[in-house]
Structure 1
Amino acid sequence: MNNVKVSVVIPVYNVEKYITECIESLLNQTLEQCEFIFVNDGSKDNSVQIIENYRKKDNRVKLINQENHGVSIARNNGLEIALGEYVGFVDADDYIEKDMYQTLYNCARQNNYDLILSNFESEIEGHKLITKYSFPIGIILDESYIKREILPYFLKADDLNTACNKLYRHKILKENLIRFPENVPLGEDGMFNMSFIGCIDTMIYINYTGYHYREVKGSATRNVAEKDYFQRALEVYRLELPENLMGTINKVKVQKFKALKLIKNVMSYVHVYSHPAEELSFKMRYRYIKEMISNKYVKEALPIYCNENYNTIGNYEKFIINMIKRESTLGLYFATAYSRVRNK
């Protein structure tokens, strides 16, 4: 008889340095009726051997091996064998508090919620930041609120996208065949979440921080250089809503929210690429910013952003927006250099 309350899916790719801490944090959960599905995505280090050692000692540890196909396919393969009443996701280089799934599951069972949302802590280059949300805390958020407030939030911001600070009712995932999109290199979490919330009746947001996200890939500049986040942000900007959400928000609002997100991303990438780094020469960083601010989709989104936000942002942000509008790469360099000196 199945008595698994929570299935946790963990994609794994070359994380031998961090996987032990992740596994220990899972096995030490106060909610014992969990299963931990590790999906090895073609790792070439000792990650699999470490998982195997734990699997031999604890039958809650499951292991799937696949060729390197990326995080979406890894998570989807984990979902295929999940048995839990609810499903959670953890990245293999992160860790969680020992009461995380007990807290989220107990909350879920109080009123039979379809989705439980919590905070998460980020640790980037030694700095820690807790991400919280402005949604009502600890009360039922019904279908009307979800479609009026939660869905638009996904469209205009990035900090709700992660699947790791949530607990999902497995039955809804199964009955609606909800999976992570396999042809989307960025924004796959957001698309998965939007597909899910389009099928639910209730959710709750709790002011609890149990998930610890760790940036371990190196400097921000190198990450953007390797993954080209701007191109991926453009792909998200051009993506259509999931089919089950067509008609939920009118097209004008959808375009507005997407424009707000794209310009916020551009402003962020301007700062990253303006920062001196060994990974990229000045010429390469300059060219990247120049191409980014002259992109036709940025030009399309900028007037929408200005119409919505210009009167509410600070003088520095206004200057950055004006430099983007003028396509002044040098102006952006001087502004961000001044900002770095001022904030030292």
Structure 2
Amino acid sequence: MPKVSVIIPVYGVEKYIERCARSLFEQTLDGIEYIFVDDCSPDKSIAILENIIKEYQPRLKKEHKNVRIERLSKNCGLPNVRRYGINLATGDYIAHCDSDDWVDVHMYEEMYNKAIEEDADVVVCDFCSTDCENEQYSKGLISKERENVIVDVLLWRIAGCLWNKLVRRKEYTDHDLNYPTHNMGEDAALIVQILWNAKRISYLPEPFYYYYMNQTSITKDVSDDNKIRQRFLQATANVEIIEQFLDGKATGKIKDALTKYIFEQSYLLVSLARKNKEDLSIWRRSVGKIRSRVYKCSYLSIKNKLVFYFLLFKSVI
């Protein structure tokens, strides 16, 4: 049985897949399972990957590292690809790596050793965001106390992502998780559930993961109103997963943090809602459920609250 399974979605990354794959195959930990999931990539990503696998085959065999390329019959999107990989994983722990990012060669050895040393369900590391010219260091964790970690995720104090976290596989298999199916905010929708169920969270204050800030990402496009609207609706669906999961469990500070999280996600549509009656109606249906919570929310400024109630009651002609 592998120590760690690493799940790597592949779609349209022919410019980046070599860098990612080499950083994975150079890992110092023996006993890794790499699961590359081809989401019907339209470019040469898989051909490039296959060539790199051939190059590394002697080393991979010697270090008990197994590489699988799983091909989907149709394009399913990132959340579904990750779930597909999770269902195939056999390692004691599961990690995720996006195929336009890369990792430090010591990442999985250090994180796995930390997990074993502290019997951790989740291990978190720091990371760097980079466009290959500029680099920004980010802490992966502020507090190791479960409720504080969830609050920090919802308040964007730390990244609510999967790729800088090593998770015991049982945290996926032994709980009835509600998996997201939409792209916007899908990591947070899943990681909040995992963090809540985790008994022990450990932390390595080392920037092992390198997140590539791809300026051509669809999430950077603010010129197309339809795309903005679609991203909002996707984010709203994933917020609903978090709300349903935390219903009846959340403490006061988590409820307040969730209120602000919903408020922040609603800003995806605010620019359109200010000028368009239809978008304002969509926005109101989404945030109407928190109208009474906004007033009491300790994490929202007076300015935030004024903007919220102005839009809630304004008219568009």
Deviations 1:212-258 (A, max 9, x none): 11132527651684364333333334345465x553225x6655332
In the alignment, which residue of structure 1 is the partner of 2:71?
65
Q: CA deviation at 1:266?
A: 4.5
What are the equivalent positions in structure 2 for 1:135-146 lying under 5 Å apart?
A: 135-136=142-143, 141=144, 145-146=145-146
User: Who is 1:23 aligned against?
Assistant: 21
In 2, Cα distance between equivalents of 1:229 and 1:288: 17
Q: Which residue of 2 is the match for residue 171 of structure 1?
A: 170
- In structure 2, the CA distance between the partners of 1:31 and 1:269, relative to structure 1 (3 Å rule), is farther
Which of 107-116 and 185-194 deviates more? Answer: 185-194
- Following superposition, the deviation at residue 261 of structure 1 comes to 1.1
Q: 1:103 to 1:68 in 2, by over 3 A?
A: same
Alignment partner of 1:326 is 2:315 = no
Match of 1:10 among 8, 16, 19: 8
Q: Which SS does the other structure have where 1:295 is aligned?
A: helix
Structure 1 Cα separation of the partners of residues 267 and 288 of structure 2: 13
Following superposition, the deviation at residue 265 of structure 1 comes to 3.7
Change (3 A) 1:168 1:288: farther
Deviations 1:37-82 (A, max 9, x none): 1000010100111122233342532100002111122112212222
The SS at the match of 2:166 is strand
Give the direction of change, closer, same or farther, for the CA distance of 1:42–1:133 in structure 2 (3 Å limit).
Answer: closer
Query: Would you say the 8 A contact 1:120–1:132 is kept in 2?
Result: yes
Q: Deviations over 1:113-134 (max 9, x none)?
A: 1110112222359543222256
What SS class does the counterpart of residue 87 from structure 2 fall into?
helix
The answer to whether residue 152 in structure 2 is matched with residue 153 in structure 1 is yes
Q: Summarize the alignment of residues 93-242 of structure 1 with structure 2, pairs less than 5 Å apart.
A: 93-123=100-130, 127-132=134-139, 135-136=142-143, 141=144, 145-146=145-146, 148-157=147-156, 159-176=158-175, 178=177, 181-218=179-216, 221-222=220-221, 225=224, 226=227, 228-239=230-241, 241=243
Q: CA deviation at 1:206?
A: 2.1
The answer (yes or no) to whether the contact 1:294–1:327 under 8 Å persists in 2 is no
In the alignment, the residues of structure 1 paired with residue 307 and residue 190 of structure 2 have an alpha-carbon distance, to the nearest angstrom, of: 35
CA contact (8 A) 1:38 1:62 kept: yes
The alignment yields a C-alpha RMSD, in angstroms, of: 3.4
8 Å CA contact 1:88–1:168 kept in 2: the answer is: yes
Q: Cα gap change, 1:191/1:324 in structure 2, threshold over 3 Å: closer, same or farther?
A: closer
The question of 1:40 aligning with 2:43 is answered: no
Counterpart CA distance in 1 for 2:256 and 2:298 is: 11
Give the drift of 1:205.
Answer: 2.0
Distance in 2, Cα, partners of 1:189 & 1:248? 20
CA contact (8 A) 1:290 1:327 kept: no
Q: Distance in 1 between matches of 2:259 and 2:273?
A: 24
Partner of 2:297: 308
Contact 1:38 1:64 in 2 (8 A): yes
Q: Give the gaps of 5 or more residues in structure 1.
A: 274-283, 329-344
Deviation at 1:20, TM superposition (A): 0.6
Instruction: Give the number of equivalent residue pairs.
Output: 298
CA contact (8 A) 2:128 2:138 kept: yes
Residues in 1 aligned to 2:156 and 2:31: alpha-carbon distance in whole angstroms: 34
Aligned amino acid, residue 113 of structure 1 = A
Q: 1:18 Cα deviation (Å)?
A: 0.6
Q: Structure 2: 5+ residue runs without aligned partners?
A: 61-65, 313-317
**Distance in 2, Cα, partners of 1:166 & 1:259:** 25
Normalising by structure 2, we get a TM-score of 0.78
SS of equivalent to 2:192: helix
